[in-house]
Amino acid sequence: MSPSKTLLSLENITKRFGALAANDDISLRLDEGEVLALLGENGAGKTTLMNILFGHYVQDAGSVRVKDREGNLVTLPPGSPGAALAAGIGMVHQHFTLAENLSGLDNIRLGTEKLLSFGQSGRAREKIAQIIAESGLDVDLERRVDSLTVGEKQRVEILKALYRDARVLILDEPTAVLTPQEAEGLFTVLRRLAANGLGVIFISHKLGEVLSISNRILVLRSGRKAGELVTADADRRAIADLMVGKAVTAIDRKPGVPGAPVLALEGVNLGKSGARQSLVDVSLTLRAGEIVALAGVSGNGQSGIAALLSGLAIPDSGLFSLFGQPVLRADPRDLVRAGLARMPEDRQHDGVVGTMSVADNIAIEDVRSPGFSRFGLLDRKAMQERAVTAIERYDVRCSGPDAEARLLSGGNVQKLILARVLERTPKVILANQPTRGLDIGAQSEVHRRILAARDRGAAILVISEDLDELFTLADRFLVIHAGQVVDAGPTETLDRATVGLLMAGHMNSIESRAS
């Protein structure tokens, strides 16, 4: 595209936090009508770069320039969100920032005008109606936000940005909480907005979606610009190799051979408590040598099932059984002793004790076993030896077994947890978001180890919001919606569209497909 089409230019951006270069001499260009995918794993520098663009951070070097209303590229003052908004930069965060007790219309106007101004309300409705007609972002703005679906809330967020005359729209993991059908609806809207001249920065880790929606791909790695690709010339392998810095071997899953049932929920009901969602009449079975996927939009009851299988809750009614024996009390230690291991969703708070060493964290669930305890005393030598082996085998990057867990990056904490889980050769594994925050190379390694655990005979439940991950791993799919679970059947009989319908609550999709 010609330079006159440039909407946004970030030039030689550098930002350091102490000795860490979060952004190191990064340049980026966005043109009118272009969807630019910004990729990179956790810690690659994406968030820092977008915070500089939006004025939340002040860069140490470099400049941000945006096309003004007269068509000239002007430099934005550093550290000024107000200047970024005035220049037409809008951002929709992964976690929405809407007032749930207000209507969609009031949320759009919030922060730009007085809500009690009736005259302005009329003008606002006219402007929003025009935006909806041009964009296709149809949503009932009279309803309170707390009554809207996740997809509708996202539309309100985008309308809010467009109402403020955004010409550059930043979308941070916009499909993380959408069904495949909702995601495709979003892409239709983005294509229409781009056709009208809007520039979009699309931040995602889902390579299939990036290839579907973007025109160009920019990859960050370790705070630096790793490279750019024209989407029409790219494929998953090329993107993955650029993100990791080396060739990534694809996973070739062979079907498992299911054995005897080892864990079952029968007619389980569980009330909402804290961050845990409720469950309604849930029945499921895990079998030895099988990986079962639990798919669903975040917040539909996954945390309730995870709490049960972690020993943090017991059913209000119904039966939870492990190896044919009923589980009658909430006791994580009992489940661990019985052969169940868990990879928790919140690895920093629930997965490790930050002030304890890597060696202690790897042994923490086994300290009473003969391998780590003699005559009531801890066998520190055995713990160190286990830690050294695990660090090497699972590529836990740290200064050694004595390093405090709190000093590890999120990805390395996840690898530490994986080592603790798999080195015990458990019979049942709960893998809750097992690769969140890991680079693609590390994801592939985690997937291989989970498949190897299945082939050793473990029964595995994988909870993930990434359908690509679930289709890579699972032998069978369960889908959860509003606390209810449906058995969707073997992976080979399913496609993303069917799973997406089930995730949206169309629980008769399986019967309809079968007929």
pLDDT value at residue 437: 65
Calculate what percentage of the chain has a pLDDT beyond 70: 92
Same domain, 267 and 184: no
Predicted confidence (pLDDT) per residue in 65-106, tens digit: 999 888 889 999 999 999 999 999 998 887 788 999 999 999
The whole-number pLDDT of residue 347 equals 64
Separation of alpha carbons 253 and 100, rounded Å: 43
Residues 276, 225 share a domain: no
Residues 304 and 222 in one domain: no
Q: How many domains does the chain have?
A: 2
> Among 105-109, 271-275, 276-280, 376-380, where is mean pLDDT lowest?
376-380
The answer to the question of residue 415 being in a domain is no
**262/322 Cα distance (integer angstroms):** 6
Q: To which residue do tokens 């845990």 refer?
A: 276
Average pLDDT, the chain: 87
The pair of structure tokens assigned to 58 is 């002040």
Q: Is residue 251 classed as helix, strand or coil in its secondary structure?
A: coil
What is the rounded average pLDDT of the residues 240-261? 84
The tens digit of pLDDT for each residue in 344-380 reads: 887 666 778 888 898 888 888 776 665 666 666 777 8
DSSP 187-218: HHHHHHHHHTT-EEEEE-S-HHHHHHH-SEEE
Residues 240 and 265 in one domain: no
Is the model's pLDDT at 295 over the cut of 50?
yes
User: Worst-scoring range by mean pLDDT, 69-73, 325-329, 475-479?
Assistant: 69-73
Per the structure block, which two tokens stand in for 263?
A: 């864990």
Based on the fold, state whether residues 445 and 472 are members of the same structural domain.
Answer: yes
pLDDT digits (tens, 9 = 90+) for 412-447: 788 888 888 888 889 999 999 888 767 677 788 889
User: What are the tokens at 191?
Assistant: 């294509």
- How many Cα atoms occupy the beta-carbon half-sphere of 178 within 13 Å? 22
Distances (CA, A) of 195 to 36, 74, 147, 242, 407: 14, 24, 31, 29, 46
280: number of Cβ within 10 Å = 14
User: Which one of 220, 244, 268 terminates a domain?
Assistant: 244
Same domain? 311 vs 451: yes
In tens, the pLDDT along 106-161 reads: 999 887 776 555 445 678 888 999 999 988 888 899 999 988 887 888 889 999 99
Cα–Cα distances in angstroms (integers) from residue 469 to residues 82, 443, 446, 496, in the given order: 39, 9, 11, 12
Q: Are residues 499 and 473 in the same domain?
A: yes
Whether 3 shows a pLDDT value over 50: the answer reads: no
Segment among 239-248, 294-303, 305-314, 395-404 with least mean pLDDT: 239-248
pLDDT score at 1: 41
| Residue 174 confidence (pLDDT) | 86
Longest pairwise C-alpha distance within the chain: 81
Decide which of 255 and 120 is more confident: 255
pLDDT tens-digit map of 26-69 = 999 999 999 999 998 767 889 899 999 999 999 999 999 999 88
pTM for this structure? 0.76
Mean pLDDT, range 218-226, rounded to an integer: 93
pLDDT of res. 461: 98
Cβ-in-10-Å burial (0-12, 13-18, 19+) of 165 comes to middle
Say if residue 104 is in the same domain as residue 22.
yes
Q: Where are the beta strands (DSSP E) in 366-453?
A: 373-374, 377-378, 428-432
In-domain check, residue 156: yes
Is residue 368 one of the residues assigned to a domain?
no
Domain end (from 244, 268, 301): 244
Confidence of residue 2 (pLDDT cuts 50, 70, 90): very low
The verdict on 234 and 89 lying in the same domain is yes
Residue 386 covered by a domain:
no
What residue spans of 282-379 are helical by DSSP H? 302-309, 332-338, 358-363
**Residue 509 CA neighbour count, 13 Å, CB half:** 20
pLDDT band for position 398 (50/70/90)?
confident
Question: In sequence order, what are the residues at sequence separation of 6 or more whose Cβ sits closer than 8 angstroms to the Cβ of residue 142?
Answer: 103, 104, 105
- Coil, strand, or helix at residue 455? helix
Q: Is residue 293 part of a domain?
A: yes
Q: Which residues contact 421 (CB under 8 A, 6 or more apart)?
A: 341, 342, 343, 429
Same domain, 314 and 166: no
Domain co-membership, 268 together with 156: no
* pLDDT average, residue stretch 271-278: 82
* Domain at 305, CATH number: 3.40.50.300
Domain termination residue (choose one: 214, 244, 274): 244
Beta bridge partners of 65: 9, 75
Residues in the chain: 515
Phi, psi (rounded to 5 degrees) for 8? -145, 140
Which of 42-51, 233-242, 261-270, 348-357 tops mean pLDDT? 261-270
Same-domain pairing of 207 and 240: yes
Q: Is the four-CA dihedral 409, 415, 417, 423 of positive or negative sign?
A: negative
**Alpha-carbon distance 475 to 468, whole Å?**
13
State the pLDDT at residue 175: 84
Q: Which domain holds residue 436?
A: 260-352+427-504
Yes or no: say if 429 and 446 are a contact pair by the CB < 8 Å rule. no
Specify if 402 maps to a domain: no
In a domain, residue 408? The reply is no
Within a domain: residue 138?
yes
